[in-house]
Amino acid sequence: MMSQSLPTTHIKAVVFDAYGTLFDVYSIGALAEQLYPGQGLAISTMWRDKQIEYTRLITMSDPHNSVGSKHYQPFWELTRLALEYTLDRLKLDRGTPVVESLMDQYAKLTPFPENLGVLQKLKASGITTAILSNGSPDMLQSAVASAGMTAYLDHVISVDTIKLFKTSPESYALVEKNISVRPNEVLFVSSNCWDALGGTWYGFNTLWINRAGLPYETIGPKPTFTGSTLSKVLEVIDQNGHS
């Protein structure tokens, strides 16, 4: 894993992606497996891929609208529609009780085990902590509360306010609109390499949490830092300090 330091940069804020980074989007596979034996992995994988595909389709089809994409639908609705597509694609029944059961579980996704301890240490150090997510405000609030993270996050920022999803520059600019920092004073943390790339292009210091041991994207610069768990955040902060 790449380890790089930025001796002239002081990190003032650590900003996390939510889904896949703080909350395990594939943990939904356990319930999906119970509901559809033998299909849990396929459902969770296709569901996630289609969810992200829909966000890109919406933003790319109307990227410069000053009031957000005219095609915009909240992330919660896209999550439901992506689930319905997935069940249709796999030729599985998508009766209302089943869909509601999976959606209810999605609102309370399992956090990764080290996350709470990392957030507690960051909070104790005085560094600003935040989420920047495609997630709708209500679903983010539910996930954060369910994971016991509310007290350790200073800001929970949703792209819902601009109606454009990541990786639009407008989405990353929400960090500066909510926190008094410059891009090079931000450590942006994501488990999605495409998101880390978008943040790098925007000007953030980036940390890719590569839990699955995937290759780097073959376009654009590599993330500033890479680690296999969220604990890497503490190492980066320790190396670079904060002010």
Q: How many Å apart are CA 37 and CA 178, to the nearest integer?
A: 44
To the query of whether residue 104 is one of the catalytic residues in this protein, the response is no
Tokens of 104: 């209810």
The residue from 17, 24, 160, 195 that is catalytic is 17
Give me the active site residues, please.
17
